[in-house]
């Protein structure tokens, strides 16, 4: 019985036998891979809606196990720019199209191999194995041929192309391809007759007899009306062969022992025919394809994505036309507009305090800010027209949570414990996003606690966005920037979802309401008789 084995995909491609090592599309030589077995979703994903983004873009690609890579942001700017190069190449149709075609053929290879485990008959298994090898050879040769004309620019794809050309020209692949094609041709050339006499079935070589099946088809073709269902059975597409079919194939093998012995030897010799580096490429390239497929609908609606400039120290941090990626997908799908915002942290500024009316877009802005920095650390285009960002090493969030009876803590205590944990880890390469923290206590206590935590964050040099109902938190330190959620000037009940940089005096919303109902001091004076 022939045993078919498929090499498992690993994160690090091995060197080609006697040739150049394949280049990873995700990790330059100096960077380590991600351990898929231990990678976990970051704690802040739910707060920033990144869990929705990653779930959506990996749906339908579960076989590639992509999530661990989206859970592991990069720490070095040079590694981010390495991915930028590859992503820019992948955005070209001349590069993306052949890679997608390769991925489709390679998936067929895996599907053929997976089907073998569900089959019982020896020759049926070997037939599937031969089909898998044929699909693999076609995928590799097609990719090499197409990439020659793709004008690649990135180090990652150029390195892999060089590896691939050496692999295709190597003795092992040349032999595999030639043997595969020869076996396919020889098996396709076999013709035989099945003789049925009651419950007795026998097989003999074809001797030029008329093909009665064609005569029957021609006879009944005149009665055909419109499209009819095809009842022919495809052994390659079925779940298995019946005992009669398996017996017929076994008898055919006895009539042509040389061909079937070669098939046996071929399957035994090529049990691990898939090159591991090519399998890793097939998986890694999905990291980019999945993201570009996810953002395609947003780009079609005019939403901008860019490759950010990244810095290891906070000299400047700013971006134009940022938006919440998860919310934007929902709005676009519903045919609704997406509101974008700008922000800028200038020299010495580290904290943005966002205030304004409820349901005005403050939390959405905070999420967009966090998503922007996290996606930048993954080396992917970010939802913005342009961006200059700090490459953060840690991202922390403190959003409102429901009380958890298992912890025996109230909301205020839980906020304090989580704030303490953040302060214990935060430093100048940390991004901290807080949303209505300490709002379960009195205004005076919440303001006191917030100022103490904010002072600690400033001492550690963190970049911070703090969404709050306490406008007073934005005052008293030149490192703090105030941004305010605005309302429509003629209808304060109508939110614009625009977040603008201006002082948080706590009067903007109240003044808008007063103006709507003509209750400002000046409007009252005009209405009073002299």
- Give the pLDDT band of residue 32 (cuts 50, 70, 90): low
- Give the pLDDT band of residue 283 (cuts 50, 70, 90): very high
Q: pTM for this one?
A: 0.84
* 341 bridge partner residues: 322
- CA angle centred on 145, ends 142 and 146, rounded to 5°: 85
Q: What is the mean pLDDT of residues 19-46?
A: 79
Q: What is the pLDDT of residues 369-406, one digit of tens each?
A: 999 999 999 999 999 999 999 999 999 999 987 656 56
CB 305 within 8 A of CB 386: no
So what's the architecture of 301-527 in CATH? 3-Layer(aba) Sandwich (3.40)
User: What are the boundaries of each domain within the chain?
Assistant: 74-219+234-295, 301-527
| Max CA separation in the chain (angstroms) | 120
Least confident of 310-324, 365-379, 508-522: 508-522
Q: What is the pLDDT of residues 301-317, one digit of tens each?
A: 999 999 999 998 877 79
Q: What is the mean pLDDT of residues 183-212?
A: 79
Give residue 507's pLDDT.
Answer: 55
Give residue 21's pLDDT.
Answer: 67
- Give the pLDDT band of residue 505 (cuts 50, 70, 90): low
Residue 17 has pLDDT above 70, yes or no: no
Q: Is 364 helix (H, G, I), strand (E, B) or coil?
A: helix
Give residue 74's pLDDT.
Answer: 94
CB 75 within 8 A of CB 391: yes
Report DSSP state, residue 515: H
Task: State percent of the chain over pLDDT 70.
Answer: 87
Q: What is the mean pLDDT of residues 473-499?
A: 85
DSSP string for 444-488? HHHHHHHHHHHHHHHHTT-EEEEE-S-GGGGSS-TTEEEEEEEEE
Q: What is the mean pLDDT of residues 356-367?
A: 91
Q: Which residue has the higher pLDDT, 506 or 205?
A: 205
Q: Which residue has the higher pLDDT, 375 or 23?
A: 375
- Give the pLDDT band of residue 4 (cuts 50, 70, 90): very low
CB 69 within 8 A of CB 26: yes
Average pLDDT of the residues of the chain: 86
């Amino acid at each position: 019985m022939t045993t078919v084995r498929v090499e498992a995909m690993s994160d690090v491609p091995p060197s080609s036998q006697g040739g150049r090592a394949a280049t990873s599309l995700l990790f330059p030589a100096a960077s380590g891979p991600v351990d898929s077995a231990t990678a976990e979703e970051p704690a802040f994903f739910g707060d920033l809606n990144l869990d929705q983004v990653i779930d959506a873009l990996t749906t339908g690609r579960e076989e590639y196990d992509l999530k661990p890579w989206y859970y592991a942001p990069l720490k070095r700017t040079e590694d981010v720019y390495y991915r930028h190069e590859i992503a820019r190449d992948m955005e070209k149709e001349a590069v993306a199209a052949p890679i997608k075609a390769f991925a489709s053929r390679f998936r067929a290879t895996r599907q053929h191999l997976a089907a073998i485990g569900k089959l019982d008959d020896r020759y049926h298994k070997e037939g599937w194995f031969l089909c898998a090898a044929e699909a693999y050879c076609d995928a590799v040769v097609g990719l090499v041929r197409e990439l020659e004309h793709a004008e690649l620019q990135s180090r990652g794809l150029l390195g892999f192309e060089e590896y691939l050309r050496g692999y295709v020209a190597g003795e092992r692949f040349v032999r595999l391809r030639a043997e595969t094609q020869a076996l396919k041709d020889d098996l396709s050339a076999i013709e035989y007759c099945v003789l049925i006499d009651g419950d007795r079935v026998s097989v003999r070589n074809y001797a030029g007899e008329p093909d009665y099946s064609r005569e029957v088809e021609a006879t009944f073709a005149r009665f055909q009306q419109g499209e009819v269902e095809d009842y022919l059975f495809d052994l390659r597409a079925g779940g298995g062969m019946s005992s009669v079919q398996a017996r017929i194939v076994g008898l055919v093998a006895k009539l042509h022992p040389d061909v079937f012995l070669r098939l046996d030897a071929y399957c035994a010799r090529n049990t691990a025919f898939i090159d591991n580096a090519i399998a890793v490429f097939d998986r890694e390239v999905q990291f980019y394809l999945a993201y570009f497929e996810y953002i395609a609908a947003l780009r079609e609606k005019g939403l901008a994505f860019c490759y950010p400039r990244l810095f290891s120290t906070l000299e400047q941090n700013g971006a134009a036309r940022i938006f919440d990626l998860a919310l934007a997908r929902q709005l676009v799908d519903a045919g609704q507009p997406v509101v974008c915002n700008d922000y800028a942290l200038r020299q010495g500024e580290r904290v943005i305090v966002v205030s304004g009316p409820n349901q005005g877009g403050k939390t959405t802005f905070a999420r967009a800010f966090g998503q922007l920095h996290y996606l930048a650390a993954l080396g992917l285009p970010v939802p913005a027209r342009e961006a200059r960002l700090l490459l953060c090493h840690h991202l922390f969030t403190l959003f409102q949570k429901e009380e958890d009876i298992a912890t025996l803590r109230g909301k205020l205590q839980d906020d304090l414990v989580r704030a303490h944990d953040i302060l214990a880890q935060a430093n100048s390469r940390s991004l901290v996003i807080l949303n209505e923290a300490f709002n379960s206590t009195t205004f005076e206590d919440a303001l006191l606690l917030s100022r103490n935590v904010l002072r600690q964050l400033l001492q550690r040099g963190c970049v911070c966005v703090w969404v709050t109902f306490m406008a007073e938190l934005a005052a008293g330190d030149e490192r703090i920037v105030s941004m305010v959620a605005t309302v429509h000037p003629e209808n304060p009940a109508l939110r614009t979802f625009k977040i603008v940089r201006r002082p948080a005096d706590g009067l903007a919303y109240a003044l808008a309401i007063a103006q709507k109902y003509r209750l400002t001091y000046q409007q009252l004076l005009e209405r009073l008789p002299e």
